[in-house]
Structure 1
Amino acid sequence: MARWDPYQQARRLKIEVEHVDDELDGDLGRWYPHERKIELTTGLLHRTERSVLAHELAHAMLGHPAGDDPKRERQADRWAALRLIDHDELLEAEVASPDPGQWCVDLEVTPRLLHVAMHIYKGRHHGHHLQVHDRRRAAL
């Protein structure tokens, strides 16, 4: 299955993605709804940039105005996590390695979005997470 690509999504939506050298007041990315533009801090790791772009696209897709609001930030994280992290791919990463840091590398996401996805999928598939760990132990 092809992974969802936030760069392609931005192009489809005609949202400009610009890399900037300034730190955006401590943020790694920012959505400007009136300009239909997302700014990303230059020099981020690929998985960080991909995660930040997906998060900012979430603001665009969810119709969020500019500015920080904790509820909208959580909504954007959930939207981004569900698009970047496929449940089956997460299970494969868990079986391949016991290290969540490696899962981030394999899935090309930040630890924050990994945590959000795990919380979402745990709620949807209660108990399934434990089955994965049992299968890994049985394989050893």
Structure 2
Amino acid sequence: MPASVGTAEAEVQYDPAAELDRMGIPVVRLWLRDTWGVWSPKRRAVVIAAGLSPAEVRCVLAHELEHILAGDTGCGGRDGLRAERRADTLAARKLIGLSDYFAARQWATSEAELAEELGVTTWILRARGADLEGGTAWLATSRTAG
């Protein structure tokens, strides 16, 4: 791992947990069966699955924050799919800086190694890669969150 690129640097650049805290939106950890996280406008809280890794938590919170910023109230139907794609794409842009992405891509030997270096999940890494290649149409649904 080159000294100039690191997970700690990426986390300093964008901290979705701090953003949610500044907005007064609590994060609640619960056992969730079918998703990693959800924004509950009714309760004005983000619920995330218990047992997630730090990178997973960071990505889920960034994804849910994008739902909040967009004013999303649900993720069902055709509009829900668009909202999921948008949340993944915008979260990935904030979580993965271009300089960090391309620097680490030069030496990382696998997708998993690249994601670990950037402090993100492979799903968010793929969303960033798809975005850089012109779109996220390949994403059928979000595995990051709801």
Quickly name the TM-score band, shorter chain normalised.
Answer: 0.7 to 0.9
Q: Measure the CA separation in 2 of the matches of 1:18 and 1:3.
A: 24
Higher helix share: 1
Contact 1:87 1:121 (C-alpha < 8 Å) held by counterparts: no
Q: How many residues align?
A: 122
The yes-or-no answer on 1:120 pairing with 2:131 is yes
Q: Measure the CA separation in 2 of the matches of 1:58 and 1:33.
A: 13
Matching of residues 80-91 of structure 1 within 5 Å: 80-91=91-102
Q: Which has the higher contact order (CA 8 A, sep 6+)?
A: 2
Identity %: 28
Distance 1:97 1:67, change over 3 A: closer
Question: What is the aligned-residue RMSD (CA, Å)?
Answer: 1.6
- Measured after TM superposition, the shift of residue 66 of structure 1 is 2.8
Counterpart position of 2:66 = 58
Q: Measure the CA separation in 2 of the matches of 1:14 and 1:45.
A: 23
Letter aligned with residue 89 of structure 2? R
Letter aligned with residue 19 of structure 2? Q
- Measured after TM superposition, the shift of residue 34 of structure 1 is 2.5
**TM-score normalised per structure 2:** 0.77
The yes-or-no answer on 1:17 pairing with 2:17 is no
Look up the SS of the partner of 1:15 in the other structure: coil
Q: Return the index of the structure with the highest Cα Rg.
A: 1
Contact 1:47 1:110 (C-alpha < 8 Å) held by counterparts: yes
**Cα-to-partner distance string for 1:59-112 (whole Å, 9 max, x where unaligned):** 001110034321111011011101101011001111122311111101111111
- Measured after TM superposition, the shift of residue 45 of structure 1 is 1.0
The yes-or-no answer on 1:30 pairing with 2:41 is no
Q: Measure the CA separation in 1 of the matches of 2:122 and 2:60.
A: 12
5+ long unaligned stretches in structure 1: 125-140
**TM-score normalised per structure 1:** 0.81
Look up the SS of the partner of 2:29 in the other structure: strand
Q: Measure the CA separation in 2 of the matches of 1:80 and 1:39.
A: 17
Q: Measure the CA separation in 2 of the matches of 1:60 and 1:84.
A: 16
**Which stretch of the first structure deviates more once superposed, 108-117 or 61-70?**
61-70
Letter aligned with residue 60 of structure 2? V
- Measured after TM superposition, the shift of residue 33 of structure 1 is 1.2
- Measured after TM superposition, the shift of residue 14 of structure 1 is 1.2
